[in-house]
A and B are shown apart, each in its own frame.
Chain A
Amino acid sequence: MLTLAAALLLLGRAETYVFDQARQIVTDMTAPLLEIASRPVAAARRVVERTDEYAYVFDENERLRAENARLLAWKEAALKLESKLARYEALLNVQIDPTIKYVSGRVVSDNGGPFVDTVIVNVGRAAGAKSGDGVIDTDGLVGRIVATGEKASRILLLTDLNSRIPVVVEPAHYKAVLAGDNTDWPKLEYLTSLSSVSPGDRVVTSGDGGLLPPGIPVGLVIQTSDGFLRVQTFADRDRLDFVRILKYEFPTQVDRQDPPAALLGPPVEPKPVERVKPAATIPGAPKPATPALADAAPAPATPAKPARVVKKPETKPAPQPQVLPPDSAPSAATMQPVPDAEEQVPPPEEDVVPGTQDTPGTE
């Protein structure tokens, strides 16, 4: 038996496919049992948390009021920045990631002992999960899927020895690799400039490699006593419960981004009526206020308007405040092509309207 166990250990190093299949079969078989067993555990945890919350409900209420007041100010700033960003993205013809879909599941197992940091989630191939998908919870990135069965999948947590995630340290925007080493705080490796990164900086995914979408919050930089820069992850691996599996596809074919018609300026003043050819003349009928769209001039000057804004965005604000006032700009979601320009500019695709992409977990 001892020899067999040692042989398995050596074979597992060389031949992984058979063992991975065996592992997945066992995981699929035991996942329903673990799910049933984890339900009372989840209920007990909720009771404990609820009891804890009752003890501090007054303080928590005060804290939330203060936070809410602070966040309302942030919300105003965020809305303004959102519309401004959508405008700049449109002007610069930025290719925006398509909407990210996700599927939710529940963690049904513990993290698997002292040498590995993996958990089992009750979402498998049947629900659309696949190996490589990123996993987030309400706080940030949790890890990624490394094996999927029919009904269950295994998530490799950020703290596992085998976990490597390409990240970016903000605000300096230095790229690094977040490497787990079985401790609570994964290391930042391959960081080009150590001096430009300081404890407290925010770490988000970089999207390099195309497996994970960029911009998902990961954690904060900390410096440990051994001098390494490590990351305190936002997601708490000790309290994992419901998670989202991101069904992210690297956007290889993004539709062409045209500036929204709202940015193209006012319609060109129509030339008089000789170009209007009504199909039938009705005596006594009122004259149309605007010419028919099909007969309107093709407005060759319209692309020049956004270009002018790009050249001097600060010193010369957009000259068409009636279309998009800088301060009371509509939110990006409401930026739809105006009807007059529909015939001249092809309407943007639904998925790539600036600002409508859904990046779950992004703060």
Chain B
Amino acid sequence: MAKLESYTPTPGARAGRIVLTVLPFVMGLACVLLSFVPVGRIFGTAVMPAFGLMAIYYWAVVRPEMFPVYAAFLVGLLSDLLSGGPIGLWAFAYVLTYIIVLTQRFLAMNAPFSVFWFGFLLAAIFAGFVGWGAASLFYGAFLPIGPIAWHLFVTVALFPLFALIFGRIERRILPSG
């Protein structure tokens, strides 16, 4: 998380500052919870996007100082605990993806949105491949590609909407970095 200033005028202001500092992480956790709400059943499908991955990618590119690597780990761990799958699977995939994105963030930082979106497509494919490989190793069998491909497709397709929401929050609420 970002370092707090040593002095703020009032305790209330300081508390507000803390809330704003942890806001990206809280949004990451909220995204994981959202991905378990059966919204897809409104449209007759059980496929839900990886909202947590969207949050990790966005904040890793835009504000990495407010979304450190252990935030990505905890987001992945919560996803594992709620999913009923192997514990550590998404934590591993998300942390690895976060590290890769962090090293390449300068490519997408001030680029047009299409480049930013394409970067997310690559990050999603990478995370999906890592997750699929780890799960296949864990279960000792090649898992079918179809469900993960469909999952990633929905995730990438919905990313612009969430990037818009994250951008609004970042510009309006969070202090300029």
Contact = CB atoms under 8 A, between A and B. Distances in A.
Interface of A: 1-2, 4-13, 19, 22-23, 26-27, 30, 33-34, 37-38, 41, 44-45, 48, 107-116, 118, 120, 146-147, 154, 156, 161, 181-183, 237-241
24 contacts: A1-B95, A2-B92, A5-B73, A9-B89, A12-B86, A13-B86, A23-B87, A41-B41, A44-B42, A107-B38, A109-B82, A110-B40, A112-B36, A112-B84, A114-B151, A115-B83, A115-B131, A118-B83, A118-B84, A181-B144, A182-B143, A183-B146, A237-B46, A239-B44
B109 interface: no
B84 A2 contact: no
A238 B44 contact: yes
Contacts of B72: 1
Given A1-B69, A9-B134, A238-B41, A109 B36 contact: yes
Given A109-B38, A110-B36, A110-B46, A4 B135 contact: no
Nearest to B72: A1
A2 B99 contact: yes
Contact of B33 (A33, A41, A183): A33
B167 interface: no
Contacts of B82: 26-27, 30, 109, 112, 120
B59 to A, nearest CB: 15
Contacts of B46: 110-111, 237-238
B83 A112 contact: yes
Contacts of A23: 81, 84, 87
Contacts of A1: 69-70, 72-73, 95
Contacts of A109: 36-38, 82
Interface centre among A2, A10, A26, A237 (most CB of B within 10 A): A2
Interface in B35-79: 35-46, 48, 50, 69-70, 72-73, 76-79
Nearest to A2: B95
B20 interface: no
A12 B46 CA distance: 26
Contacts of B69: 1
Interface of B: 33-46, 48, 50, 69-70, 72-73, 76-79, 81-92, 95-96, 99, 128, 131-132, 134-135, 138-139, 141, 143-144, 146-148, 150-151
Interface of B is mostly: helix
Contacts of A237: 46
Contacts of B128: 114
Contacts of B44: 238-239
A116 B83 contact: yes
A4 B83 contact: no
B135 A12 contact: no
Nearest to A119: B38
A89 B88 CA distance: 53
Contacts of A27: 81-82
Contacts of A11: 88
Given A12-B86, A37-B33, A114 B81 contact: no
A27 B81 CA distance: 8
Contacts of A183: 144, 146-147
B85 A8 contact: no
A146 B84 CA distance: 10
A37 B143 CA distance: 31
Contacts of A154: 84
Contacts of A33: 33
Closest 4 CB pairs of A and B: A8-B88, A9-B88, A112-B83, A118-B84
A181 B134 CA distance: 16
B73 to A, nearest CB: 5
Contacts of B139: 161
Nearest to A12: B87
A317 to B, nearest CB: 53
A8 B79 contact: no
Nearest to A19: B87
Contact of B84 (A38, A116, A238): A116
A45 B46 CA distance: 13
B41 A239 contact: yes
B91 A113 contact: no
Contacts of B89: 9, 115
A12 B146 CA distance: 26
